[in-house]
Chains A and B, each alone.
Chain A
Amino acid sequence: QVQLVQSGSELKKPGASVRVSCKASGYNFIPYSINWMRQAPGRGLEWLGYIRPSTGRPTYGRGFRGRFVFSLDTSVSTAYLQISSLEAGDTAVYFCARDRSYSAYDYWGQGTLVTVSS
């Protein structure tokens, strides 16, 4: 069965970096883009962007260019989200999801809580 399994919770200090992984299984990884979303405490879902395993090309949402970097290791069907220069406002649950059709996210990871606190 299709699964996306994310790495565990992280506690980081402001200014540090974090990498969240999203390992896919149960389907051909290449044809489907992996999208990243987040939900800050008390807030709604927010789209960060996506990366296409077929090309390795990332696309970032407005406000997420620069400190946010998407990458892949297709040999292990895994996508990564790296966030640098962490700020308190980056505290959120981060989700990866498979896109079956232009914002149709049919499978999601379980979410990774990233807490930024001094």
Chain B
Amino acid sequence: QSALTQPASVSGSPGQSITISCTGTSSDVGAYDYVSWYQHHPGKAPKLMIYDVSNRPSGLSNRFSGSKSGNTASLTISGLQAEDEADYYCTSYTNSDTVIFGGGTKLTVL
């Protein structure tokens, strides 16, 4: 299994919205509604931002939202803030009872 496909980098200005895509196959992203998104600042533990495609953990800002269409999932961040600058990873459960990560996307807030 290859990693899920994410853009290497995205950027946006404060206040803008950005979307990060995560493309898999009919064996993972397309097979289940078990896509999650993580924010990772270097040197820290990753943080769960979205799970089960579109659910936010309790207390997380509603500026973060997730969706899925076919084999592609997406994370949208609205009202970009400087502290959103980080690496973002998607994951998906697969039909082999395994989990696959995306390659990661570096978000730069200009």
Contact = CB atoms under 8 A, between A and B. Distances in A.
Interface in B52-110: 52, 57, 87, 89, 91-93, 97-104
Would you call the interface of chain B mostly helix, strand, loop, or mixed?
A: strand
Nearest to A49: B98
Interface in A85-109: 95, 97, 100-106, 108-109
A44 interface: yes
Contacts of A110: 45
Given A61-B98, A61-B99, A104 B3 contact: no
A95 B45 contact: yes
Contacts of A45: 38, 40, 46, 89, 101, 104
A109 B36 contact: no
Contact of B34 (A44, A47, A95, A101): A101
A108 B32 CA distance: 23
Interface in A62-106: 62, 95, 97, 100-106
A106 B56 CA distance: 11
B1 A101 contact: no
A46 interface: yes
Contact of A104 (B1, B36, B87, B103): B36
